[in-house]
């Protein structure tokens, strides 16, 4: 009874000038801090599962003459570790898909990798790696479509990846090439940029393109705003987008 009376009679301290700003800032600090904690925990989980997968594969190779040895190992570990057998196999497949730990990207969570490791086609998996990385890299990137069809000069063309940047309020066209850049690639992207400029809705800004060329020798990354418009990109867009060099460094880890 006494406790209830006290709680009813207790008054909240009056707000002082500037309190709302203080409260907003403190909430923002806490949210960002918790987000970093959750990401750090998930990064540790990813690295741990990679190490588990590596150790199991090493064990399999040491006893490869024994038929079904890997399956028996997974079954027994699942029981003793209180993991599902399917999760044990995911760790093994994770290591086999990404045998170099440095190629495991910090931006991607274990949930992302669960999906990526079931994609057998390496080129298709590459699409999703880039898509997911860009989507998580900046709060502004929002994934729109993959292999987006557009009708240009009575011909259907496919855009590899299409994003919308909510902070810049513009489309970001991503063109992927498994070779070095050619002049025709720039002309192709210029057509895409012209199409989206002509079809942008009220409030949208001019689109930007990102060309990623990866050959067996090198990775090149280029931004383009279109013919005679690159000065616009430098002045207005560059501060809100990852630099070409940053993207290149991230993609090198995926090789």
Q: What is the pLDDT of residues 172-231, one digit of tens each?
A: 998 888 788 787 888 888 889 989 988 888 888 889 898 888 877 788 888 888 766 666
How many whole angstroms separate alpha carbon 176 and alpha carbon 160? 6
**pTM above 0.95?**
no
Segment (H or E) for 190: helix 183-198
154 pLDDT more than 70: yes
Mean pLDDT of the chain: 82
Cα distances from 83 to residues 43, 49, 70, 91, 98, in angstroms, run 19, 12, 16, 11, 22
Hey, what are 235's tokens? 């002045």
Distance (Å, whole) CA 15 – CA 218: 59
Other C-beta atoms lying within 10 Å of the C-beta of residue 152: 13
CA quadruple 95, 90, 254, 101: dihedral sign: negative
Q: What is the mean pLDDT of residues 102-110?
A: 79
The set of residues, in sequence order, having a beta carbon less than 8 Å from that of 175 and lying 6+ positions away, is 159, 160, 185, 188, 189, 192, 209, 210, 211, 212
pLDDT at residue 1, as a whole number? 46
The dihedrals phi and psi of 168, each to the nearest 5 degrees, come to: -85, -20
- The three-state secondary structure class of 23 is helix
- pLDDT above 60 for 6: no
Q: Are 175 and 188 in contact (CB under 8 A)?
A: yes
Length of the chain: 255
pLDDT of the residue at 89: 93
Residue 55 has a pLDDT of: 93
Residue 78, pLDDT > 80, answer yes
10 Å Cβ neighbour count for 112?
19
pLDDT digits (tens, 9 = 90+) for 28-59: 888 888 877 877 888 899 999 999 999 999 98
| Average pLDDT value for residue range 94-111 | 85
Edge-to-edge strands, sheet with 208-214 = 141-152, 155-165, 170-177, 208-214, 219-224
What is the spatial distance between Cα 57 and Cα 98, in angstroms, rounded to a whole number? 13
Distance CA 92, CA 70 (A): 10
* DSSP-derived pairing of the beta strands 155-165 and 141-152: antiparallel
Work out the average pLDDT over 107-129: 81
């Amino acid at each position: 009874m006494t406790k209830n009376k006290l709680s009813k009679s207790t008054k909240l301290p009056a707000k002082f000038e500037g309190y709302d700003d203080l409260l907003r800032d403190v909430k923002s600090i806490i949210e960002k801090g918790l987000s970093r904690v959750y990401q750090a925990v998930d990064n540790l989980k990813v690295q741990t599962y990679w190490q588990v997968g590596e150790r199991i594969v090493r064990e399999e190779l040491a006893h490869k003459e024994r038929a079904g040895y890997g399956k028996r190992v997974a079954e027994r570990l699942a029981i003793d570790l209180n993991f599902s057998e399917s999760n044990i196999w995911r760790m093994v497949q994770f290591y086999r898909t990404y045998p170099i730990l440095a190629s495991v990207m910090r931006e991607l969570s274990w949930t992302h990798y669960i999906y990526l490791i079931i994609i057998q086609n390496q080129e298709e998996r590459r699409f999703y790696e880039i898509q997911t990385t860009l989507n998580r890299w900046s709060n502004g990137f929002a994934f729109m479509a993959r292999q987006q069809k557009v009708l240009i000069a009575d011909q259907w063309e496919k855009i590899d990846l299409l994003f919308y940047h909510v902070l810049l309020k513009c489309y970001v066209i991503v063109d992927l090439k498994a070779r070095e850049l050619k002049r025709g690639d720039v002309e192709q992207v210029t057509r895409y940029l012209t199409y989206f400029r002509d079809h942008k809705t009220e409030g949208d800004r001019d689109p930007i393109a990102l060309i990623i060329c990866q050959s067996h020798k090198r990775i090149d990354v280029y931004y383009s705003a279109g013919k005679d418009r690159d000065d616009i990109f430098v002045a207005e867009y560059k501060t809100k987008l990852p630099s070409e060099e940053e993207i290149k460094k991230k993609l090198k880890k995926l090789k």
